[in-house]
């Protein structure tokens, strides 16, 4: 598996992520978009508003694929918005979603409700069920970079 590093400057949403990403149940919600996409420009304020509602519980990151192509790994992202939702163990959702923020909000509520069932399955050693992608482990990249940022601010 290739090694990836986050570019500078970092995608918006990462600066306060360190503490939240320490919680294994916190979700990373990444929206892959493009500045030239009109749908993305309309979706972004709603995505940011949803991020505010979930602040401290989940980390929302807006990733412009033109600015951060290395975060796409070998995936060919052609439709927008393309969303990635993952916890510390696996990818829970990866794909295109209609640009209605209510759909993402419902997905997050559903994943929270399913979290208890997933923990029970893992405790019975049934293993995690997730979605496979060729994306780099973006959550781990963000968690590591957020830790560096938090350490720099503490000095």
Question: How does pLDDT run across 62-101, given as a tens digit for each residue?
Answer: 999 998 888 887 788 888 999 999 988 888 999 999 999 9
Q: Work out the average pLDDT over 5-17.
A: 57
Q: Which class would CATH give 17-145? A: alpha beta
Query: How far apart are alpha carbons 96 and 82 in whole angstroms?
Result: 4
Categorize the per-residue pLDDT at 150 as very low, low, confident or very high, splitting at 50, 70 and 90. Answer: very low
For 37, phi then psi, to 5°, come to -85, 115
**83 or 11: which carries more pLDDT confidence?**
83
How do the domains of the chain map onto residue ranges? 17-145
Task: Give CA–CA dist 33/12, Å, rounded.
Answer: 13
Distance from C-alpha of 98 to C-alpha of 104, rounded to nearest angstrom: 9
- In the predicted model, is pLDDT for residue 112 greater than 70? yes
């Amino acid at each position: 598996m290739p090694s990836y590093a986050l570019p500078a400057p970092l995608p918006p949403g990462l600066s306060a992520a360190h503490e939240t990403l320490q919680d294994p149940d916190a979700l990373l919600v990444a929206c892959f978009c493009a500045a030239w996409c009109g749908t993305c420009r309309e979706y972004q304020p709603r995505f940011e508003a949803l991020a505010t509602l979930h602040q401290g519980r989940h980390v929302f990151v807006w990733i412009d694929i033109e600015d951060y192509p290395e975060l796409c790994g070998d995936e060919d992202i052609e439709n927008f918005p393309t969303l990635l939702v993952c916890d510390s163990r696996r990818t829970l959702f990866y794909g295109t979603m209609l640009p209605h923020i209510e759909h993402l909000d419902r997905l997050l509520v559903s994943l929270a409700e399913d979290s208890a069932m997933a923990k029970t399955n893992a405790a019975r050693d049934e293993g995690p069920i997730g979605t496979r992608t060729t994306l780099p482990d973006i959550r781990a990249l963000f968690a590591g970079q957020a830790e560096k940022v938090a350490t720099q601010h503490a000095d």
